[in-house]
Structure 1
């Protein structure tokens, strides 16, 4: 008698896992219009996508009647002693029921951990912090983490039972994260996110760019929509940029001490084009410094400057570059070639 093989192939398993992620996202209350459009596109790609999604609705309804501790025990991996016996039967001989059970378990686990957390993960602490132009500030969070805010920075902190989140609206901040293996620490910089458990790293957000520098430990940088995101793992002494092109940039070596000198009240320039140095200095000045157009922009400078006394930077520039300071009656300051 002929038997039909109903085993769940890798493609089906992947589709079911993605269906679980879509289910959690669409029931989170946080789905955006772009999410919904992408979800509809995913559904129309293959009729099986809709079937997997509908099945998860049945799974989800069932989990609502199961105590959370019982659900977690059901999602636990099988005893190690049972694995050889399963493997001995051969993959092609495993029944569709077994594969569906395993896949269904994965889907339930995804929904239980991702979906339930949206409903049952209360916010324990939430606050917004900001600094004015030229101001720096350090804040201490209830979990023991520290955040140093650089000039003109605004961010929102939200601490929950399962995760710790910071939304960096603008500016730059140094994060010294208290280790907590049960709660990741995630910084959203607009163009991407940085996820850690416990480390020290810097995130800078500008209108169209984002930079991450790791001083100690390691972080995971993620960019793109959650269903097709790109990730890079960075370790101490590495940085990465986002926004200069599609997706994530390429990790690069960086002198973290110099990059984070602002936290010590300094700016360090090493062979920096004058145009770039002026842009950096302007972050701390009440009135932006203007640079005369021309070759002067590419002249390279080096030096250590005190950002707590930004006007002293103007006094120092003519000593290290062929420039003159021209002040107008309105208070505008122009750097011109001399």
Structure 2
């Protein structure tokens, strides 16, 4: 007669239940996204193929996931620079081996130390300790829709904020940090030995020493984050430990998951053209061009036909002379503009021929 399995085989042991309670108590005191990011980050070098796929899916599921993971990467780099005698104060004790008669599940045995250690690194690296972490300057800046704002920082660097841009600047004794929430800013960074300048936006971190570059975060607008370099060089890091180096005349884009595109060459004067009151399009859909104009103010132009929105245009245009842009459209695209009060609807012209492969609008003055 076959022996019945023990009661222990039908459920967790008392020790395993204690493990579950211990982890639940710890997790209840932590931010859920931050804890998940910390656990993934701590285990990143021990993942099998399936777990790596799970991590990639988690990062892509929500921009907040990618941002939290990117913060861990930054915090980990900061924590590694802490002297050993100071880091020892926050050392996480290793758990004692479980008794042989009550084996503990490997997952439960390892998860709490991993998560606790990772949250400690995050706290230490992000400002949970006093050594070198007291800011010497901290200030938020924001520009309204249609407004541009120039900012001079105490370190000699300057910022130019485009329309509807929000960022926060924190200067520490040994590093400088800007968190760009949304919008676009042009950075002219004053070189300072031993004081790197980091711009954190969405899942991307841009690191420089001295250069001029722009960072644009319009993830909520078009799902993209762009970095463009006018002078000098920068290093751009995505959410998956990808890194690219950019020099003058180069740019890169990232999506909400932190995936970086191939490095692209930039046309002259294409870095932050809004500084001179212009906007530049490179063979983009008409709908995207109108949405870009709308970032600066109400245009009164409406497109309701998806086929019209897909027509492609390119060129450089004045942000203050939208009427010239509208007047040129029927001459260069198979469209007509019907005005009704304060709204002008762009629709396909009657019996319009198919649009040529690419239309390039001339610069207006």
TM over 0.5: yes
Instruction: Give the superposition deviation at 1:190.
Output: 0.9
Aligned partner of 1:274 among 266, 286, 289: 286
Aligned partner of 1:191 among 182, 203, 207: 203
The question of 1:337 aligning with 2:348 is answered yes
Instruction: Give the superposition deviation at 1:216.
Output: 1.1
The more displaced of 315-324 and 157-166 is 315-324
Find the aligned partners of 1:196 and 1:127 in 2 and give their Cα distance: 20
Aligned partner of 2:238 among 199, 205, 223: 223
Find the aligned partners of 2:88 and 2:168 in 1 and give their Cα distance: 36
Find the aligned partners of 1:44 and 1:199 in 2 and give their Cα distance: 33
Instruction: Give the superposition deviation at 1:171.
Output: 0.6
Q: Which residue of 1 aligns with 2:265?
A: 253
Instruction: Give the superposition deviation at 1:315.
Output: 3.5
Residues 215 and 256 in structure 1, CA contact (< 8 A), matched pair in contact too: no
Residues 285 and 310 in structure 1, CA contact (< 8 A), matched pair in contact too: no
Instruction: Give the superposition deviation at 1:284.
Output: 1.6
Change (3 A) 1:140 1:288: farther
Find the aligned partners of 2:258 and 2:127 in 1 and give their Cα distance: 33
Change (3 A) 1:249 1:285: same
Change (3 A) 1:319 1:304: farther
The more displaced of 247-256 and 291-300 is 291-300
Instruction: Give the superposition deviation at 1:117.
Output: 9.0
SS for the counterpart of 2:130 is helix
Q: Which residue of 2 aligns with 1:243?
A: 255
Residues 203 and 256 in structure 2, CA contact (< 8 A), matched pair in contact too: no
Change (3 A) 1:284 1:311: farther
Q: Which residue of 2 aligns with 1:36?
A: 35
Segments of 5+ residues of structure 2 without an aligned counterpart are 1-29, 47-81, 91-120, 350-365
What are the within-5 Å matches in structure 2 for residues 76-95 of structure 1?
Answer: none
Find the aligned partners of 2:180 and 2:294 in 1 and give their Cα distance: 20
Find the aligned partners of 2:330 and 2:38 in 1 and give their Cα distance: 58
Residues 178 and 198 in structure 1, CA contact (< 8 A), matched pair in contact too: yes
Q: Which residue of 2 aligns with 1:172?
A: 184
- What is the RMSD of the two structures over their aligned residues, measured on CA atoms? 3.4
Instruction: Give the superposition deviation at 1:186.
Output: 0.8
TM-score normalised by length of structure 2: 0.59
Residues 229 and 271 in structure 2, CA contact (< 8 A), matched pair in contact too: no
Instruction: Give the superposition deviation at 1:33.
Output: 4.0
TM-score normalised by length of structure 1: 0.64
The more displaced of 300-309 and 144-153 is 300-309
Find the aligned partners of 1:204 and 1:43 in 2 and give their Cα distance: 32
Find the aligned partners of 1:161 and 1:326 in 2 and give their Cα distance: 59
The question of 1:212 aligning with 2:227 is answered yes
Count of residue correspondences? 249
Change (3 A) 1:257 1:43: closer
SS for the counterpart of 1:276 is helix
Aligned partner of 1:148 among 139, 160, 167: 160
Find the aligned partners of 2:255 and 2:43 in 1 and give their Cα distance: 30
Partner deviation per Cα, 1:115-153 (whole Å, 9 max, x = no partner): 999422211111111111111121111111111111111
Instruction: Give the superposition deviation at 1:191.
Output: 2.1
Residues 292 and 337 in structure 1, CA contact (< 8 A), matched pair in contact too: no
Residues 178 and 198 in structure 2, CA contact (< 8 A), matched pair in contact too: yes
Q: Which residue of 2 aligns with 1:203?
A: 215
The question of 1:123 aligning with 2:135 is answered yes
Find the aligned partners of 2:301 and 2:224 in 1 and give their Cα distance: 21
SS for the counterpart of 1:279 is helix
Find the aligned partners of 1:322 and 1:116 in 2 and give their Cα distance: 57
